[in-house]
């Protein structure tokens, strides 16, 4: 029996509808949430992603700004830009699009973002709040995955979860969120012995390693829920045939565009999994939806006293 497809686009749309209603209520109180996105240089992939973020904010009624300093910017100059955004009261959320140019100290830049405006949830203060189960801003992608579980009735409590990948952006916070939700969690990485064997223990398997099609059916227990965080582009015919031979829809897309998307999970896993996220249309849309949600959350946290003063229903 084919796996149940977990529709990230549908869940994302539901979250955005809720955010739009929250923004409308706040705006009536004179408190329009604001998001500033900083994109350094001219990375085509990042430009597309950032445009989608700014477009989404505008559609939901959030004030959005895009700052585009040159690729030659120094760490000191970029820290200055972040400092100015920290002091602007109409900006509730600051997002620095990664990767940054090699001459820029990325850790220093992310540390400069005020924790209460850190809508990516990367600041050590927010990481600490997450690890101690206190309210704060949490990373968008893993938080989106948790929303997907909640809204599609995927059980987490008491389940065995395996996260493949230990990045600060996805792997580590994903593991912490699962642990906070009472799953038993294992984090795997490049040094893990018998990776396939460990993955086969999982009721919930999250793949966040950035290696296209690496998670094959040998990694997956029958009936497991598989979350595919990866996104890679297949551009050559041999790779396409390895992953998508016989898939008519993908064949048409590949013939038209010369490429197609694949995640970290091989398409054959849908034959053994109980539920699975597609690529595209799975985790990706949730990331932007949670960025919007975090911006509203940051607004509420920062301006809580004003909200209470203006209207108890805001």
**What is the set of active-site residues?**
53, 97, 120
Neighbours of 259 (CB within 10 A): 13
Distance CA 164, CA 195 (A): 9
Supply 21's token pair. 């209603």
C-alpha gyration radius of the chain: 20
**Cβ partners under 8 Å of residue 143, min gap 6:** 121, 173, 177, 290, 294
- Distance from C-alpha of 218 to C-alpha of 216, rounded to nearest angstrom: 5
């Amino acid at each position: 029996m084919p796996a149940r497809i977990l529709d990230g686009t549908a869940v994302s749309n539901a979250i955005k509808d809720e955010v739009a209603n929250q923004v409308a209520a706040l705006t009536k109180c004179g408190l329009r949430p604001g998001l500033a996105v900083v994109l350094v240089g001219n990375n085509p992939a990042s430009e597309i992603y950032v445009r989608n973020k700014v477009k989404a904010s505008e559609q939901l009624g959030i004030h959005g700004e895009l700052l585009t300093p040159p690729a030659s910017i120094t760490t000191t100059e970029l820290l200055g830009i972040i400092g100015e955004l920290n002091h602007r009261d109409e900006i509730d959320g600051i997002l620095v699009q990664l990767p940054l140019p090699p001459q820029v100290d990325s850790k220093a830049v992310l540390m400069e973002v005020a924790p209460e405006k850190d809508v990516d949830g990367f600041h050590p203060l927010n990481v600490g709040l997450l690890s101690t189960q206190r309210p704060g801003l949490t990373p968008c992608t893993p938080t989106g995955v948790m929303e997907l579980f909640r809204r599609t009735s995927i059980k987490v409590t008491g389940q065995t979860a395996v996260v493949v990948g230990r990045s600060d952006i996805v792997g580590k916070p994903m593991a912490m969120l699962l642990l906070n939700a009472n799953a038993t969690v294992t984090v795997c990485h490049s040094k893990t012995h018998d990776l396939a064997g460990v993955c086969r223990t999982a009721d919930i398997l999250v793949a966040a390693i950035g290696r296209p099609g690496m998670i094959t059916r040998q990694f997956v227990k029958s009936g497991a829920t598989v979350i595919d965080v990866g996104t890679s582009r297949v551009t050559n015919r041999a790779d396409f045939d390895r992953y998508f031979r016989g898939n008519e829809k993908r064949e048409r897309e590949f013939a038209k565009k010369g490429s197609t998307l694949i995640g970290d999970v091989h398409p054959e896993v849908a034959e053994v999994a109980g539920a699975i996220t597609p690529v595209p249309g799975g985790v990706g849309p949730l990331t932007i939806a949670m960025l919007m949600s975090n911006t509203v959350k940051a607004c509420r946290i920062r301006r809580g006293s004003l909200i209470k003063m203006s209207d108890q229903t805001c």
